[in-house]
A and B are shown apart, each in its own frame.
Chain A
């Protein structure tokens, strides 16, 4: 049962990923990523990270992807030209990336790291993956990271305003 769920989720995520890369229209790529994220959330559920899965859907697929949709709509989905200025990239890129995948797989599968072959800890403690557990960890052990993340968000907000602000001189320039 679990294996089926895994394969469905995996195939969905992979399909979404490939779609992002290979669809010509950027708008379709954005939508493909949303699909990918949903299937990824299902995988998270399999790993008993319920809160994270939900947060992923709400924040990532919900908010971040919506920004993408807005921008894609604003900017327009211009079809990319067929011929690359650097055809080598079309060949070597996938080849090298494939090599990287093989290497990482070898590293993972050949690793002597204990328990990779297993399903993990037999008995996870109760409340693993619940919001309480995550929140407790975040606010007790990882307080600084939490605060830093908030600061980062603030900076990003400021940056967004600055970048996208209308400047009188630059309107109509270029």
Chain B
């Protein structure tokens, strides 16, 4: 398969993830959609790595994995903390940034 297919697929996965971020209200699900976006990026990296025959892209996918893991840890830590403090798990309810 030509590389372009993989890239277009990656774009599609990215937009689906972004839509999820915009549409869902549960913070856990939003984080999941963020993971989707990250994995779409990883797919693109792997595709380009294959295109150039260079292993750099694969190394960076590892980095993406690490970053995703850290982000998940912190994000879920926040969700747990929110849950413990009986704050409703709804991003729309958290409006302290309102100007």
Contacts and interface: CB of A to CB of B under 8 A. Distances in A.
Asked whether the complex places CB atoms of A and B closer than 8 A, the reply is: yes
Given A52-B62, A101-B12, A125-B53, A26 B29 contact: yes
A49 B65 contact: no
A153 to B, nearest CB: 6
A138 B62 contact: yes
Contacts of B8: 104-105, 108-109
Contact of A109 (B1, B4, B12, B36): B4
Given A47-B47, A104-B11, A97 B39 contact: no
Contacts of B80: 71, 74-75, 163-164
A90 B47 CA distance: 32
Contacts of A74: 80, 83
Contact of B29 (A29, A93, A134, A163): A29
Interface string B42-58: 11001101111101101
A78 B79 CA distance: 14
Nearest to A150: B66
Interface in A26-59: 26, 29-30, 33, 36-37, 40, 43-44, 46-49, 51-52, 55-56, 59
Nearest to B67: A152
A102 to B, nearest CB: 9
Q: Chain B's interface: helix, strand, loop or mixed, by majority?
A: helix
Interface of A: 2-3, 6, 10, 13-14, 17-18, 20-21, 26, 29-30, 33, 36-37, 40, 43-44, 46-49, 51-52, 55-56, 59-60, 63-64, 67-68, 71-72, 74-75, 78, 80-81, 84-86, 89-90, 93-94, 97-98, 100-101, 104-105, 108-109, 115-121, 123-125, 128-129, 133-134, 137-138, 141-142, 145, 149, 152-153, 155-157, 159-160, 162-164, 170-171, 173-174
24 contacts: A14-B12, A21-B17, A21-B33, A47-B46, A55-B65, A56-B42, A56-B65, A68-B28, A80-B25, A98-B15, A101-B11, A108-B7, A109-B4, A116-B51, A123-B53, A124-B53, A129-B55, A129-B58, A134-B58, A134-B59, A149-B67, A159-B73, A163-B80, A164-B77
Interface of B: 1-9, 11-20, 22-26, 28-29, 31-33, 35-36, 39, 42-43, 46-47, 49-53, 55-56, 58-63, 65-74, 76-81, 83-87, 89, 92
Given A108-B4, A121-B50, 7 more contacts: A33-B35, A64-B68, A84-B23, A94-B19, A119-B3, A128-B55, A134-B59
